[in-house]
Amino acid sequence: MRITSICTLVLGILVMVSTVHASQVPVGLGAYTTTLHASGEHAPPSTVYKTANLAGPIPTNKWYSSLLFTKWSQPLFAHPLSYLADKGSFELGVPEKVIIRSPSREENDITYPHNPALVIKPLDFKMKDARADKISDWAVDIVMGDDTDALKVTIVKGSPFSFYQVTRGDIKIRSADTGEIYYRSSNGKVTGIRIHGRHYAIFIPKDAVLEGVPEQGMKLHFPEQARWFTVAALPDSKPETIAEFEKYAYAFVTDTHAEWHYDESSSQVTTTFKVTTDIKEGSDNGTLMGLYPHQWHNNALAPKMLPYEYDTVRGKLKLVGGTQFRTRNTYTGILPFWPGLSEPKQAKKLAAYFKNDLQGSIEATLGHGGTYWQGKGFGRATQLMLIAEQQGDKRKRNALLKAIKARMESWLRSEPGSQKYFYYDSNIGTLIGYPDEFGSATELNDHHFHYGYWISAAAQVALRDPAWAAKEKWGGMVDMLIGDIATTDRAHPMFPYLRNFDAYEGHSWAAGIAPFFDGNNQESSSEALNAWAGLILWGEATGNKQLRDTGIYLYTTEIEAANNYWFDLHHQVFAPEYHNASAGIVWGNKYVHTTWFTEDPREIAGINMLPVTAASLYLGTDPNFVRRNIETIDTEFALYLKSDREQHVSPQTWQDILLEYYALYDPKEALKKWDDKGLVEEGETTSHTYHWIQSLINMGRPDFNVTADTPFYAVFRNDDGKNVYLAYNAGNVKKNVTFSDGKTLMVPAHSLTNSFGSKK
């Protein structure tokens, strides 16, 4: 997966060193532990519902993860269908839109709840639980049975089909509500059923018999040599639609696989989605695949769509036939930092903010708490370090760099008896930092949020001190953090493949075990993107090009998903009844305007903006949306104050985050509105807020129409209509960077260069 894969890297380290404590496993100069340091400390789940076929680390933080951690499952939202492994039966149906009016807020939530249409149950044996049997990139096999027999179900994200195999006996299929048979093929192999105004089809083998009526339960009797059937949700009731679907119904999906490639010269990320099938009858090995908006919109490689689509919580799902398709997206670049402010008045003002930010100790700047709040502290201190460096204050830069390293090392040692350490759980296959926070241990939540801050800070250290980042020093433990959230080796012995990322839906999931009727969820798309930007930086800083490119794939893809499903920039997802400009949390079956911690509309929006870094320019993809989003927030907040006046909410809460965001539309106005003596968000500083907004005043809005043949670049268009170009070179020799509009920059080694000069 890498130049040296994470798997090889970690195992190599374990061979190089010997254990110095019974439960401590050294990794370079750091270590993790295999036992918890204190009795009663929060622990991960101990029971996993899987068959012996599913070996290795457990894939948590997925759309199907409830299946692995409960006896049955919560609803599994695969779009266009949802499924439920219930007590003794298996349900499926097409969710319908439901508008939920908030009793305390002037807004609507949009949900597509599980709505069972068909219920499937073996007649000759009982099912004691549901277990995951095989998992690929966007498909899962579920086995429900006893010690001898089982019903095996294959569900595939984006597919209108689900596939069934049974070891013995007959199957009962009944409608969960009033149902009628509206179609029978002449050979008896296809039955069309209408339920809730939706249309379904059941495809059975030759010589199988399906008899009875849906409401009472139809009995499916199999020939011994073919104990299988397929169910499809149809877009309409036309006979020609059933005929088209039948062509693909007998090719059972056995594997799904996403592969990506980043072309540095063109700054393009191409992803190929491949499906492998097993043909039960006929000769067509293709299947039907439903593409989400982030896959079919503005995709130069989009295949020819069939004339079928479904309304889903993610917008229109459009069908294509075959065994693969490709997407192509533009990687718009990131930078590790921005230039300093050289204009004397601006530099003087920034120096005053910086002095005020460091009035307390650097230790206080680094903060306290568990892995999330410590990560926020690393982000805060790192931003100050970058400002000190770019403003030429090497003494303060060095002091901050030293403190960041020391604090991180104190955790990464995992010394016996320490309250701050990392624990590896071999039952699940996960690395957990203690003190844990927000369910990061008990429910395996938010690891990419937490560790993203750590990885980003470590990358900044590595760019300045490569020796520190060597695997035999502290790089090995940083690679463990990366391995926990972003391993791409599907056979990795310690961590699951891409723990948090959904390769098909294009974004991450935050809940580890997903114990919700609404499926899995993710709140902060921006903190997920912060993690992927950290991978890009760490990969470049350590010479691991494959890791860097993995980060670019994750970063580019998740931006597409965020722009569609959190921000709806293309007006293809949010329902007309949804009155908000953005979503606070995206769930498997809904999008809502709230957070896990507040109803304040500024924080609901801001949680999908922070942390604001040099990798946050994507938030300005559509400046007019930025304006509209802020205006909507202001209107919502006025209503919020009226309904929650007793809470004494401060109008300055997260003012810095929101104005940094607004600066992507109008930086001059953002600076006027900013209260530099007002409240500061926990991961921010006044220095960074001023530096960000003033830099955008100086450089202009980001211009995403121009790319470069390097991973580290940004382009801005100033008020004079001229472009400002920036590029960074982490290498040891100078590099000539060419932009897509013909502009070139010669970038010295270990330097950031802009079209006005260069700065190390």
**Residue keyed to tokens 């689900």:** 162
- pLDDT greater than 50 at residue 2: no
- For residue 718 the two structure tokens come to 């100033």
Q: Is the peptide bond before 235 cis (omega within 30 degrees of 0)?
A: no
SS3 content of the chain, % helix, strand, coil (to 5): 30, 25, 45
Residue 558 bears catalytic tag: no
How distant, in Å, are the alpha carbons of 71, 122, 502 from that of 127? 11, 8, 29
- The predicted-structure confidence for 674-694, as pLDDT tens digits, reads as follows 999 999 999 999 999 999 999
What angle, 0 to 180 degrees and rounded to 10, lies between the N-to-C axes of helices 525-541 and 447-464?
30
- The predicted-structure confidence for 531-561, as pLDDT tens digits, reads as follows 999 999 999 999 999 999 999 999 999 999 9
CA–CA dist 405, 399 (Å, integer): 10
- For residue 128 the two structure tokens come to 């004691």
- pLDDT greater than 80 at residue 6: no
What are residue 24's phi and psi, to 5 degrees?
Answer: -105, 130
**Residue keyed to tokens 């043909």:** 279
- pLDDT greater than 60 at residue 19: no
Per DSSP, 511 falls in state: -
DSSP β-ladder status, 507-508 and 701-702? unpaired
Per DSSP, 612 falls in state: P
Q: What is the pLDDT of residue 102?
A: 74
Closest CA to 140 of 67, 189, 84: 67
Closest CA to 424 of 10, 135, 3, 9: 10
Q: What is the pLDDT of residue 644?
A: 56
- pLDDT greater than 80 at residue 718: yes
Residue 492, amino acid: H
Q: Where in 280-323 does DSSP place strands (E)?
A: 287-291, 309-312, 315-322
With left for phi above 0 and alpha for psi between -120 and 50, is residue 285 left, alpha or beta? alpha
How distant, in Å, are the alpha carbons of 261, 545, 744 from that of 708? 17, 17, 9
Q: Is the peptide bond before 80 cis (omega within 30 degrees of 0)?
A: yes
Cβ neighbours of residue 127 closer than 8 Å, sequence gap 6 or more = 88, 89, 121, 144, 145, 146, 150, 151
CA–CA dist 515, 320 (Å, integer): 32
Q: Average the pLDDT over 118-135 and give the result.
A: 97
- The predicted-structure confidence for 301-318, as pLDDT tens digits, reads as follows 999 999 999 999 999 999
Cβ neighbours of residue 415 closer than 8 Å, sequence gap 6 or more = 24, 31, 421
- For residue 422, the surrounding DSSP H or E stretch is strand 421-425
- For residue 159 the two structure tokens come to 């597919």
Residue 301 CB: number of other CB atoms within 10 A?
13
Percentage above 70 pLDDT, the chain: 95
How distant, in Å, are the alpha carbons of 226, 244, 672 from that of 207? 9, 21, 77
CA–CA dist 509, 70 (Å, integer): 18
**Residue keyed to tokens 């709505």:** 115
What angle, 0 to 180 degrees and rounded to 10, lies between the N-to-C axes of helices 394-412 and 447-464?
130
What are residue 269's phi and psi, to 5 degrees?
Answer: -115, 120
Residue 733 CB: number of other CB atoms within 10 A?
7
- pLDDT greater than 60 at residue 7: no
**Residue keyed to tokens 């390097």:** 710
Closest CA to 49 of 33, 64, 29, 70: 70
- pLDDT greater than 50 at residue 630: yes
Residue 523, amino acid: E
Whole-number average pLDDT of the chain: 94
Residue 446 bears catalytic tag: yes
Q: Which of 109, 244, 357, 527 is catalytic?
A: 527
Which residue(s) pair with 233 in the sheet?
Answer: 200
CA–CA dist 16, 473 (Å, integer): 12
Assessment of whether the complete model's pTM goes beyond 0.85: yes
Q: Which of 446, 479, 505, 600 is catalytic?
A: 446
Dihedral angle at the C-alpha atoms of 219, 221, 227, 229, nearest 10 degrees? Answer: -40
- The predicted-structure confidence for 452-510, as pLDDT tens digits, reads as follows 999 999 999 999 999 999 999 999 999 999 999 999 999 999 999 999 999 999 999 99
C-alpha 45 chain-centroid distance: 22
For residue 563, count CB atoms less than 10 angstroms from its CB and return exposed for 0-12, middle for 13-18, buried for 19 or more.
buried
What are residue 124's phi and psi, to 5 degrees?
Answer: -110, 0
Q: What is the pLDDT of residue 196?
A: 87
Cα three-residue angle 636-641-645, rounded to 5 degrees: 160
Instruction: Give the model's confidence band at 22: pLDDT under 50 very low, under 70 low, under 90 confident, else very high.
Output: low
**How do the domains of the chain map onto residue ranges?**
66-328
88-116 in b/e form (b: 16+ CB < 10 A) is: ebbbbbbbeeeeeeeeebebbbbbbbbbb
- Count how many residues are written for the chain: 760
CA–CA dist 713, 716 (Å, integer): 10
Q: What is the pLDDT of residue 168?
A: 96
82-86: strand order across its sheet? 76-77, 82-86, 89-93, 118-122, 171-175, 218-221, 209-211
Ordered DSSP codes for 185-205: -TTSSEEEEEETTEEEEEE--
Q: What is the pLDDT of residue 106?
A: 66
Residue 741 bears catalytic tag: no
For residue 654, count CB atoms less than 10 angstroms from its CB and return exposed for 0-12, middle for 13-18, buried for 19 or more.
buried
C-alpha 687 chain-centroid distance: 30
Q: What is the pLDDT of residue 35?
A: 96
Per DSSP, 255 falls in state: E
Q: What is the pLDDT of residue 756?
A: 75
- For residue 412 the two structure tokens come to 């990464």
Instruction: Give the model's confidence band at 643: pLDDT under 50 very low, under 70 low, under 90 confident, else very high.
Output: confident
Residue 309, amino acid: E
CA–CA dist 408, 29 (Å, integer): 12
Instruction: Give the model's confidence band at 5: pLDDT under 50 very low, under 70 low, under 90 confident, else very high.
Output: very low
For residue 641, count CB atoms less than 10 angstroms from its CB and return exposed for 0-12, middle for 13-18, buried for 19 or more.
middle
What are residue 257's phi and psi, to 5 degrees?
Answer: -150, 125
Q: Which of 109, 133, 523, 703 is catalytic?
A: 523
Cβ atoms of 245 and 232 closer than 8 Å: yes
Sign of CA dihedral 236, 242, 247, 252: positive
- The predicted-structure confidence for 43-96, as pLDDT tens digits, reads as follows 999 999 999 999 999 999 999 999 999 999 999 999 999 999 999 999 999 999
For residue 515, count CB atoms less than 10 angstroms from its CB and return exposed for 0-12, middle for 13-18, buried for 19 or more.
middle
- For residue 351 the two structure tokens come to 């120096």
How distant, in Å, are the alpha carbons of 706, 708, 755 from that of 742? 9, 9, 13
- For residue 200 the two structure tokens come to 């379904």
- The predicted-structure confidence for 413-440, as pLDDT tens digits, reads as follows 999 999 999 999 999 999 999 999 999 9
